[in-house]
């Protein structure tokens, strides 16, 4: 079986690797994905963008890539789209129009519940199988929608969880993100915060960065220990400061108390703040509010991301309450998703 895959994000490819391990050996992947999974038609590093402004700059490039994927769909038995709705939803519509009977599977759905709810009827009409990774997502779709909650992919990757906390915080992890723009904005704050805290600190750096990139992006990191394995580091540490993104849900599930930090480009933040109608930006907070009516962890955004604010948040954090809530969140998500998605693909 030949599957056309569109997995543009680093996090999507982590989940794709878990999924591939559950698929039969006779399945061939074509399209866009990490080079470790096969021969992709594009180097994923050329796809990295941060926000609306960057996306506009690369518009022509993505249009050309879209055309390539539609051509490849002709010879594919099925189509698998993972996350990246800005690219994947237009691609799905083109494939559906050109190949009306092609089976299209969407894994990690567009967050239509957060913004652009008009996409929901389009998704229901265009996609053959909607694989939801959020338990509450089903409520936003019609009763006849082809949507199934398949579990959450992070529970395929995380196999160890905190059951108890150290009485005092002796080790702090810092995760300034994986996108270059995020790192440049957060590292000056994190360096100052580390000085204020005076506690053993580990900086988690993505494995794919070269030494030249690290030197250019992070500045002076002599005060930090360096790690590349986020799961192991978060499990070992007692507290963390983390850039908004998948890593915040990862930390929530592992059970390490943390504070979310995020500084977007001013124009990106202005646009997003008017499009997204949510009380929180962290996915764990969004989910926890859905079934518990309160946030799981603090969030600091834009101008509120200062060393002093983060220092005070650290000292007022109820770590024990967080740990109990993280266990509730794991129960809410139930299980990993790879096995269930593999059954849908091979069904």
Distance, in Å, from the CA atom of 343 to the CA atom of 335, rounded to the nearest integer, reads 15
Q: Tokens at residue 343, please?
A: 């059954």
pLDDT at 10: 83
pLDDT in tens, 163-222: 999 999 999 999 999 888 899 999 999 999 999 999 999 999 998 899 999 999 999 999
15 lies in the same domain as 53: yes
286 lies in the same domain as 145: no
pLDDT below 50 — which residues of the chain?
50, 52
Last residue of a domain, one of 149, 180, 211: 149
Distance, in Å, from the CA atom of 58 to the CA atom of 91, rounded to the nearest integer, reads 16
pLDDT in tens, 228-253: 999 999 999 999 999 988 899 999 99
Strand partners, 203: 174, 226
Phi first, then psi: what are they for 163, rounded to 5°? -105, -25
131 lies in the same domain as 219: no
Residue 75 lies in a domain: yes
Number of domains in the chain: 2
Residue 177 lies in a domain: yes
Query: What does the H/E/C string look like for the chain?
Result: CEEEEEECCHHHHHHHHHHHHHCCCCCEEEEECCHHHCCCCCCHHHHCCCHHHHHHHCHHHHHHHHHHHHHHHCCCCEEEEECCHHHHHHHHHHHHHHCCCCEEEEECCCCCCCCCCCHHHHHHHHCCEEEECCCCHHHHCCCCCCEEECCCCHHHHCCCCCCCCCCCCCCEEEECCCCHHHHHHHHHHHHHHHHHHCCCEEEECCCCCCHHHHHHHHCCCCCCEEECCHHHHHHHCCEEEEECCHHHHHHHHHCCCEEEEECCCHHHHHHHHHHCCCCCCCHHHHHHHHHHCCCCCCEEEHHHCCHHHHHHHHHHCCHHHHHHHHHHHHHHHCCCCHHHHHHHHHC
Q: Is 305 left (phi over 0), alpha (psi -120 to 50) or beta?
A: beta
221 lies in the same domain as 296: yes
Distance, in Å, from the CA atom of 23 to the CA atom of 20, rounded to the nearest integer, reads 5
Range of the domain at 319: 172-333
223 lies in the same domain as 288: yes
Last residue of a domain, one of 149, 184, 204: 149
CATH of the domain at 254: 3.40.50.2000
323 lies in the same domain as 188: yes
pLDDT at 303: 93
Whole-Å CA distances, 307 to 187, 247, 314 = 11, 20, 11
pTM of the model: 0.84
For the chain, what is the largest distance between any 2 Cα atoms, rounded to a whole number of angstroms? 61
211 lies in the same domain as 326: yes
Residue 306 lies in a domain: yes
129 lies in the same domain as 278: no
182 lies in the same domain as 131: no
pLDDT at 241: 98
> How many other C-beta atoms are found inside a 10 Å radius of the C-beta of residue 270?
12
């Amino acid at each position: 079986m030949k599957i056309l895959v569109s997995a543009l994000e680093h996090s999507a490819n982590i989940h794709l690797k878990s999924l591939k391990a559950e698929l039969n050996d006779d399945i061939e992947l074509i399209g866009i994905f990490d080079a470790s999974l096969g021969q992709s038609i594009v180097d994923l590093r050329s796809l990295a963008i941060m926000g609306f402004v960057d996306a506009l700059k690369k518009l022509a490039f993505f249009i050309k890539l879209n055309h390539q994927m539609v051509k490849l769909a002709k010879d594919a038995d099925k189509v698998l789209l993972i996350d990246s709705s800005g690219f994947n939803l237009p691609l799905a519509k083109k494939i559906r129009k050109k190949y009306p009977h092609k089976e299209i599977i969407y894994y990690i759905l567009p967050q239509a519940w957060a913004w652009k709810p008009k996409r929901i009827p389009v998704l229901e009409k265009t996609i053959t199988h909607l694989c939801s990774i959020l338990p509450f997502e089903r409520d936003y779709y019609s009763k006849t929608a082809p949507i199934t909650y398949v579990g959450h992919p992070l529970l395929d990757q995380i196999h160890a969880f905190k059951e108890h906390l150290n009485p005092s915080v002796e080790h702090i992890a810092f995760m300034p993100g994986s996108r270059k723009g995020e790192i440049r904005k957060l590292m000056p704050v994190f360096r100052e915060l580390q000085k204020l805290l005076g506690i053993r600190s580990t900086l988690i750096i993505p494995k794919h960065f070269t030494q030249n990139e690290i030197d250019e992006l992070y500045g002076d990191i002599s005060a930090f220990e360096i790690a590349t394995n986020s799961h192991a580091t978060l499990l070992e540490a007692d507290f963390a400061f983390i850039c908004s993104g998948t890593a915040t849900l990862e930390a929530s599930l592992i059970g390490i108390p943390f504070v979310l930090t995020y500084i977007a480009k001013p124009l990106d933040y202005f646009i997003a703040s008017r499009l997204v109608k949510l009380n929180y930006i962290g996915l764990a907070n969004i989910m926890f509010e859905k079934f518990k009516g309160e946030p799981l962890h603090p969030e600091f955004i834009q101008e509120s991301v200062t060393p002093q604010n983060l220092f005070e948040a650290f000292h007022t954090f109820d770590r024990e309450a967080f740990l109990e809530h993280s266990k509730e969140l794991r129960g809410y998500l139930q299980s990993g998703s790879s096995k269930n998605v593999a059954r849908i693909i091979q069904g």
